[in-house]
Structure formats: C-alpha cells, structure tokens
Amino acid sequence: MVFQVSKKDDTLSGDITLDGSKSISNRALMIRALSGQDFAIDHLSTSDDTVAMEQLIKADEGELDVGPAGTTFRFLTAYYAIRDGEQILTGSERMKKRPIGPLVDALNALGARIKYLEQHGYPPLLLQSPGDLGKKFRLSVPANISSQFISALLMIAPALPKGIELTLTGKLVSASYLQMTLTMMEYFGIEYQFKDQVITVGPQSYHPKPYRVESDWSAASYHYANASFASDVSLRLGGLFQDSMQGDSVTHKLFARLGLETSWDREGLTITRKGKPESLLEHDFILCPDIAQTMAVVCGGLGISGLFTGLETLSIKETDRITALRDELMKVGVFFSKMPDRFSSVSGKEYYTVEGKAWQSEPPLFATYHDHRMAMAFAPLSMLFPVRIEDPEVVGKSYPGFWNDLTSLGWSIEMVQQI
C-alpha cells in the first residue's frame, strides 16, 4: 500500500489530543503485572506495541509472538525469566536480527534459564522456570546498550530475593529512558539509589495505585515538524506537559530555535510561529534518539544545516535508521553524512551532517523499511510538496491515529497504488 500525502496550503491550525506515551504505557503494564494486583491505567497507548504488551503479559505457557515490538520483547523477556513455567518468545524477521544477548546474559547470571532457539544472541528465546534466583545480585553491564535492557532488569529487581546492584560501565546512552523507569518505579513505592553509575534496588513490593499516562512527545515531534514548514501556525496539542519525564520533551526547545513558540496551559500546549529558524541546528541526541529522524528531515525541508551527534543506537532500531535516513533524504536532494573519523578522534563523538534543501517536481516515494518513525518523519515534507509513503500502516506500531490526525488538520491522503 502507498499513500500520497499533500496539503493545499501552508497554514496549520487545529486541536488534537495525542495518544498516551508508548514508553510510559509499557512500563506501567510491566509494573502492574509485577505488583500482582490490578489497578487502573488511564490514557494507555493504543499503539500496536502496547496492545501486544497488554495481551502477552497475561499469557499462559506457550509461544508468544511480539511481532516487531522491541520494547515489548525486552520487557517480556525479563518478566517471564523470573516466573515458573515455559515460554517461547519470538517476533518478526527484523526482531530476529535485533540483539538480545546482553539482557539474556544478565538474566541468566541472576538465575534465569534462557536458551536461544536459532542464532546465538538473538530471538527467538526459550524461557524455562528459573533455577536459583538470587544466587547473584551484583551485575556489571555496558552502559551503551539499549536502555530497554537496563530498564527491564530494574523493573524486575524488587521481585528478586536480593534485588539488584547494577554497575553501568562506559558511556550511558538514552539515560532519559532509564530515569523514566526509575521515576515510575518510585511512584509505585520502590526505593532505589543511583550514584556513580551504580543503581541499587533492594527486594520490596510495588504499591498498586491508579496511574495516568501522559501523551507521547515522540508523536508531538511530527506535528512540530509540520508547523516548522507552515507560514502561519495555531496548533493545540492536548495531554502534553512542560515537566514531562520523556526525553523527547526537548522537542519544544529544539523547535524554538526554528521559529516556533510553545505556550502552556493545564491541559496541553499551543504552537505558534515566532521568528525565523536559525541557520544551523546542532544537537546531541543521546537523550532523545527517537526524534533524530524528525529533526534531520526538518533541517532538509527548511534548507538549514544540521550537525548531529548521539546517534549510537539508531542502527539497531526497527531498521538501520542511519542508512535509511541517508538513502531517503537523497531522494529529495538532501545529504545526510557521517563526518570523517578525525573529528570523532578529537571529540570522542560521531558527528553527522545534514546539508541541502528538499525539493522534488514529482511526488517522491519514501520507503519506510517497516519502521514507523520513517513514515512519520518524512510525512511532514508534504507541507512543501506531495509525497508518497510506502507501507503507511506501519505507523500503528506507535501512533495508530497519525493519518487520521493529519486528515483532521487539512491534509489530503489518497491510496495511489497497491503493492
């Protein structure tokens, strides 16, 4: 399926309420299951990943297929690793290429019994009743692995006989997601210590109580991208808050540098235009990697230079997002490139540049690589010229209402060919 996406004018106004955060929703579901008691979770994400999490975390013994849901796979691996019974965890072909080894090694060290059914270090997994949980509680794990691995270990820590003392070695990536996990655990009564990259969580119990999920800042970034290309903006986004625990909440600060002003009230925010964009957008995305694609496309659409770092985890996401960004931006005359290694040797960081101004006389066809964020990051270019998005249904992974929300804001969306 291919959607052709266009907008007849370059103004943007309207009022939408965004879905609940997928990241927060999946953690809330994990904590509720670990608490052993039911409690209300309001404004839960309707994303495919969260729907899968809610269904599979209640499953009995058997084979559980999470599809492409990476967070779900990692959290369920930890959850079922400490439970009696036998489970097989599997997923999509892309999921089978996403590494799970560091999490499995850590869980087996804690007393779990997990085996690989195909390629070593990758799904699918066989999880059997644990052997001697608590035989070890001090672990060292690389800090530059996915924060979801570390979050999965932390959330099960209170249920372990001795808890966990987790030493994070090396450079910490996606620290905002790790802090999100700890903040939510604390809300549900868990005490912890986090000092000098050592996190200690003792054995204790979660205290069940009602929880409301805030709206998704990753989803908001696509509407800010739309607004950045508009000549006149008055767009209200409901459910977002200035004191968010989401790392992607930096979105409003980044777009302030691109001429957009955000005003707040008790129920959300309003975006308006105020000034022109800076000529260079430089940012370290180590705390907010999920909006890097959005910002690369925005730089290309505005014709401003981008200088990005902190993209270490992008190559192990739903697709290799570094390569995908390079290839798709090239279709509209924008170049996304890694800077020579000599720059990295000086700073210790890898830098990427965005150069060029997006343009096409015919609607470009953007591949999405089964990656929801590729579809939503490139759709805002439709403010400038019609675009075609391959496999548009992939947005269901995190933002099922994305196309409907665009339609409500004045976009024209047409299915132009079946493939």
Composition of the chain by helix, strand, coil, percent to 5:
35, 25, 40
* CB contact at 8 A, 152 and 185: no
| Nearest by Cα to 376 from 303, 308, 298, 262 | 298
Strand 335-338 to 352-355 pairing:
antiparallel
**Count of all residues that appear for the chain in the document:** 419
The residue to which tokens 């090239």 are assigned = 330
Q: What stretch of H or E contains 90?
A: strand 87-90
* CB contact at 8 A, 70 and 313: no
Q: What stretch of H or E contains 101?
A: helix 101-110
Helix/strand/coil for 16? strand
* CB contact at 8 A, 32 and 39: yes
Told to judge if 341 belongs to the known catalytic residues of this protein, a careful annotator would answer no
Provide the CA 243 distance to its chain's centre, in angstroms.
19
One of 19, 49, 216, 290 is an active-site residue; which one?
290
Question: Known catalytic residues?
Answer: 290
